[in-house]
Amino acid sequence: MPFNVIVFNQPWFVEELRELGHRVVSVGRFNPKAFDVFLDKVVTPVEDVLLQMPSGFEPDCIVYHDDSWPIAVTGLENLQIPKIFYSVDAHHHWRWHGHFGALFDLVLVALKDYLVKFHPFCPQVEWFPLWAPIEMVPEKEKTIDVCFRGNLNPNLHPLRVEFFEKLQKLITVDVKQGPYTKDFPRSKIVINEAVKDDVNFRIFEAVASSALLITPAIANGLNELFAPGEELVLYEKGNVQDACDKIKYYLEHEEERQRIADSGFRRVQACHSVKKRTEQLAMFMEKITLGQRPTQWFSAAYVYAYAGGMLAKTEEKVCALKVLKAGIASLGASLQQKEQLLDNWQVVAISLAVSMLGLGKIEEALELTSKLHNEFPEDEILTIGLLNVLQKKGDMATAEAVAQEMSSKPAELLQAVPDLINKLMI
């Protein structure tokens, strides 16, 4: 059955879903040429996005792709539309991704070992590995012996840079930062390096190019996606000498290298092509229904506290304020509806208040912390949050009175508040 689908943040599967007969509108920020609907703000209310849909387009499903940035929209928790979240960079963002997933009816996770991080919040979680994003045409003549293409920024990936510096002292490797599409098909071997055990796109891109992939022995389902020794080759993670030895061996054993590369290529075509992943996504879309989301308001507050705090440190002050206000409203809804609060839920309130202070919104921070302190007068964390706001406001008389109610050593408590606050932030 054809669906009306909104796809956020990435162009993944948009054209392929259209080829299957679905009506798809892509929505994203940062690159106006990449999307049907361009968001000119860092964060946009989802209600504003819906107003930009084509005439007669009533969405049956929303697919929200991870773009490794904080949230692109607010208000997803209010929509009674089946929603799918695809978490790709859980190895970097699993803490807030887990809470963000609580706003959705289905969460797809690229890295298998991180499924457990989502279970406490999300009603349904499935493994959905990456794929070969384009169909490659292997070159018969391999003019590059060993190749790596990827991000070599030492500030972002110091261990990767160090690994290749050491490897290049042992053997010649063509290491560059840039696109792979011309070079992988011309390479006998692609050597991979994985950040935090990421089963990255490079794995699928290399194998789809009919190069022999030599990649770290990591978890996250890699051995279920490809057969080691048959469809790719593993080296001990971080072991430069082992990687060098494997490269030398397969450069000297061309027939064996070609056999493994061909087997890997066939595996990608059969199981890990963009067409295959699109079919799997379409099956999920057909089965998804509105589910119970028991922590959605608290989780929304967590996500807004995190995103608002990040934005408050940038030039996007107006946007940060809107996100933080959404977080305060969501936390209030969670308490009003008596959601099951998670351990240390108070840190969300603390983070919202501190970020409000950073924006100069002292009265809003005071209103939040005072209300929570009155509702939970015995909660020490919330009391510390109130003390912090009172100190920032300069109301030392009230701060001292509150501190005396909490501690037999109020002066020491007030002195310790800044350090305690720093430890309580999300």
CB within 8 Å of 112: residues ≥ 6 apart: 127, 129, 199, 219, 220, 221, 224
Contact 63, 84 (CB under 8 A): yes
For residues 120 and 199, membership in a common domain is answered with: no
Asked whether residue 190 is domain-assigned, the answer is yes
CATH number at residue 412: 1.25.40.10
Last residue within a domain, chosen from 255, 287, 319: 287
For residues 98 and 153, membership in a common domain is answered with: no
DSSP structure class, residue 60:
S
pLDDT of residue 339: 86
Asked whether residue 82 is domain-assigned, the answer is yes
What's the alpha-carbon Rg for the chain, to the nearest Å?
25
For residues 203 and 222, membership in a common domain is answered with: yes
422 CB neighbour count, 10 Å cutoff: 9
pLDDT of residue 275: 96
For residues 53 and 84, membership in a common domain is answered with: yes
Last residue within a domain, chosen from 242, 257, 287: 287
For residues 283 and 246, membership in a common domain is answered with: no
Contact 43, 320 (CB under 8 A): no
For residues 251 and 201, membership in a common domain is answered with: yes
**Per-residue pLDDT for the chain (426 aa), expressed as one digit of tens each?**
899 999 999 999 999 999 999 999 999 999 999 999 999 999 999 999 999 999 999 999 999 999 999 999 999 999 999 999 999 999 999 999 999 999 999 999 999 999 999 988 888 999 999 999 998 888 889 999 999 999 999 999 999 999 999 999 999 999 999 899 999 999 999 999 999 999 999 999 999 999 999 999 999 999 999 999 999 999 999 999 999 999 999 999 999 999 999 999 999 999 999 999 999 999 999 999 887 788 899 999 999 999 999 999 999 999 999 999 999 999 999 999 988 777 779 999 999 999 999 999 999 999 999 999 999 999 999 999 999 999 999 999 999 999 999 999 999 999 999 999 999 988
For residues 180 and 210, membership in a common domain is answered with: yes
CB within 8 Å of 9: residues ≥ 6 apart: 27, 28, 29, 64, 65, 66, 67, 72
Residue type, 131: W
CATH number at residue 234: 3.40.50.2000
For residues 346 and 283, membership in a common domain is answered with: no
Asked whether residue 138 is domain-assigned, the answer is no
Asked whether residue 136 is domain-assigned, the answer is no
Rounded to two decimals, the pTM is 0.94
pLDDT of residue 382: 96
For residues 313 and 399, membership in a common domain is answered with: yes
Asked whether residue 137 is domain-assigned, the answer is no
What is the domain range of residue 210? 144-272
Number of domains in the chain: 3
For residues 22 and 114, membership in a common domain is answered with: yes
CB within 8 Å of 228: residues ≥ 6 apart: 217, 234
Asked whether residue 139 is domain-assigned, the answer is no
346-366 residues labelled b (16+ CB within 10 A) or e (exposed): bbbbbbbbbbbbbbebbebbb
For residues 336 and 352, membership in a common domain is answered with: yes
Asked whether residue 134 is domain-assigned, the answer is no
For residues 18 and 122, membership in a common domain is answered with: yes
Asked whether residue 135 is domain-assigned, the answer is no
